[in-house]
Amino acid sequence: MTDKSIRQAHADPGKVHDVVIVGGGPAGLALALALHMAPGVEVDVAVVERGNGEPPNDPRGWAIAEGPRRVLDAVGAWVDVATRSGEVREMVISDTPLGDAVRPSLLNLGGTDNEHDPVAWIVPAGALHGALLMRARETGIAVHTGTSVTGFEQAGAYASLATASGGFIKARLVVAADGVRSPLRSMAGIRTVGWDYGQTGIVTTVSHQFPHEGRAFQHFLPGGPFALLPLPGNRSSVVWTEESGKAKRLLALDDLSFMAEFALRAGPELGDFALEGPRGGFPLNLLIARKFAVQRLALIGDAAHRVHPLAGQGLNLGLKDVAALAEIIVDSLRLGIDPGAVTQLEQYERWRRFDVFQMAVATDGINRLFSPDIAPLRVLRDIGMGLVDRSGLLKTWILREAAGVTGSAPKLVQGLPL
């Protein structure tokens, strides 16, 4: 549907949706589906997306933990990506300088409470985005593509959105799922805290000589963390962090020279490597919105927070936002309460803020602790990791936290219906 058709659809100035989601990325689409599919309540939900509605050619593989995977399952998207995703059964962590020929494991995390369950899944980003889009189309959710939101105004009982072509859309609740730069967040005057890391995440896919056997490798190198994440077959997804100037030079290399630099970092466990997919570079930053909600507006996904990808947690946090906000909206509508009222939205903010803050602090701290190539610091962190490695209880706790199923998890994260 085009911007023009949206204008026509909203020619009736009295039409007010329950929820309009700005941004048809994975967080926005998952929320639309969760609301649309909620049992026993009809939620009038629409999505507004400035892109053309095709999944972007995104070379990332997203690590998705068990709790957020259940959210994708509940909205019907998991079934389409399960066989294209790699299972992580063990995480091998090392901390060595760049020149070392071997990268001995300092910490091994593997197996959950049920040792048959994977620790996480590595899901190709384009496949997941495509599955969510297809599901939204199948279920008949109005996804207005090619439509850019340019204005936001609170107008008493509803909020009004202006679009680039002069149309207006009204909703009792507007959700900003419009990514880390979130135009809607700025329009609502919500400020952020955070900083640039001066690092870029180089991402691609490689094939390798030996099977990974479900092992994910995280090498902490002086330029930043370097991760190899298992995909189906003898393939792995790569997230390789470097200082941004260096990353730019690496991305500009021809394939042969790029793979020579890659091999220096990858270690010998998987044998020889070949490039299997396009390369991409993503500038890395930390960002947390000062508020996750104001009257008639809630922020989810990267619009609310952006964390360092070293723990693969950004979208996991976003899917937990989806589960929490969907639960609050659906409960409100069932009780006849206005879902855009600030009292309802404050519940959402309280529910999500601590989890996000905790993850932001943890990933920021790990990045700072592991990046400096200072020998005494390496000794200290290696002793620390060695202690964790020997503590079965601590390892179980870390894995349960990583699965995202601890604490007061929302229903969809627990695998329960809304």
Contacting residue, 59, 314, 339, 410, with ligand FAD by CB under 6 A: 314
Query: Could you say whether residue 287 binds ligand FAD (CB under 6 A)?
Result: no
Complex with ligand FAD: residue 305 or 333, whichever CB lies closer: 305
Out of 224, 309, 340, 404, the residue judged to bind ligand FAD by CB under 6 A = 309
- Number of Cβ atoms within 10 Å of the Cβ of 379: 10
C-beta closer to ligand FAD: residue 281 or 333:
281
Cβ nearer to ligand FAD, comparing 308 with 411: 308
* Residue 175 · residue 284 · CB < 8 Å: no
169 binds ligand FAD per the rule CB under 6 A: no
Q: Is 55 a binder of ligand FAD (CB under 6 A)?
A: no
Q: How far is the CB of 341 from ligand FAD (least distance, A)?
A: 24
Calculate the alpha carbon distances from 383 to 42, 221, 377 in Å: 55, 17, 10
Residue 50 binds ligand FAD, judged by CB under 6 A: yes
Q: What is the DSSP track for 25-92?
A: SHHHHHHHHHHHT-TT----EEEE-SS-SSPP----EEEEEHHHHHHHHHTT-HHHHGGGSEEE-EEE
DSSP one-letter code for 311: G
Q: Check binding of 60 to ligand FAD (CB under 6 A).
A: yes
Q: Give the SS3 label for residue 243.
A: strand
- Is residue 67 within the footprint of ligand FAD (CB under 6 A)? no
Least separation, in Å, of the C-beta of 58 and ligand FAD?
Answer: 8
Q: For residues 26-54, b (16+ Cβ closer than 10 Å) or e, as one string?
A: bbbbbbbbbbbbbeeeebbbbbbbbeeee
* Among 124, 167, 201, 340, contact with ligand FAD (rule: CB under 6 A): 201
* Binding residue for ligand FAD, selected from 19, 21, 26, 326, defined by CB under 6 A: 26
| Near ligand FAD by CB under 6 A: residue from 55, 318, 339, 404 | 318
Q: How far is the CB of 286 from ligand FAD (least distance, A)?
A: 12
Reported as type and span, the H/E element at residue 113 is none
Helix or strand or coil: residue 227? strand
Task: Quote the least distance from Cβ 115 to ligand FAD, whole Å.
Answer: 23
Judged by CB under 6 A, the chain residues 111 through 140 that form the site for ligand FAD are none
* H-run or E-run covering 120: strand 120-124
Residue 388 token pair: 């964790």
Which residues here bind ligand FAD, judged by CB under 6 A?
22-28, 48-51, 60, 62-63, 148-149, 177-179, 183, 201, 203, 239, 282, 301-302, 309, 312-316, 318
